Amino acid sequence: MRIGELAERTGVSERSLRYYEMQGLLAAERTPGGHRSYGDWAVDRVIRIQALYAAGLHSKKIARLLPCMRDADGGPSRIATSQLVAELSEERDRIDRLIADLVRSREVLDEVIDAAAVHADTAADTADTPALSSAS
């Protein structure tokens, strides 16, 4: 498939696909006319690259990790090392810390929203109450 079709099938821009190739994350064969050509395997590879970026890994780490993964099922390969496992565990721990921070931030925001809602309800009740006339 050509780069446009790969972009369409994965939802990733052609520019990103070219960047992946420059970073050694994705390989394309060339047609006699010089156009990039990818096999069906490239769809799984691009989806996996996107997932790894979303997990916060940078391109150099992804480049080290991809050869240790099988495109079809993502399982470990024989070239995975204990160092790689340790690095990935560190990345997972970093993500866990980020998630915990986000949960705490959401809890604080929930408290602010609750307090603001009570204030807004009180202000609305006051606005709805007719003012008492001081004339007697």
Is residue 4 located within the same domain as residue 58? Answer: yes
Distance CA 13, CA 38 (A): 15
Query: 29: which strand partners?
Result: 37
Q: Do 55 and 86 fall within a single domain?
A: no
Per the structure, the count of domains in the chain is: 2
Question: Do 2 and 68 sit in the same domain of this protein?
Answer: yes
Same domain, 93 and 58: no
Q: Cα 114 to the chain's mean position, in Å?
A: 30
Residue 86 and residue 63 in one domain:
no
- How does pLDDT run across 58-100, given as a tens digit for each residue? 888 888 887 777 655 455 566 677 887 888 888 889 889 999 9
| Domain hosting residue 27, numbered range | 1-75
pLDDT in tens, 14-68: 999 999 999 988 988 888 988 889 988 889 889 989 988 998 888 888 888 877 7
Let me know if residue 56 belongs to a domain: yes
Predicted confidence at residue 49, as pLDDT, reads 92
H or E element that contains 36: strand 36-37
- Asked if residue 62 and residue 6 are part of one domain, the reply reads yes
In this structure, are 58 and 7 located in the same domain?
Answer: yes
Q: Which two tokens stand for residue 24?
A: 């050694």
In a domain, 135, yes or no: no
What is the reported pTM? Answer: 0.61
Q: Give me the pLDDT at residue 136, please.
A: 47
Q: What is the CA radius of gyration of the chain?
A: 26
Question: Residue 104: is its pLDDT beyond 90?
Answer: yes
Residue 128 is predicted with a pLDDT of 60
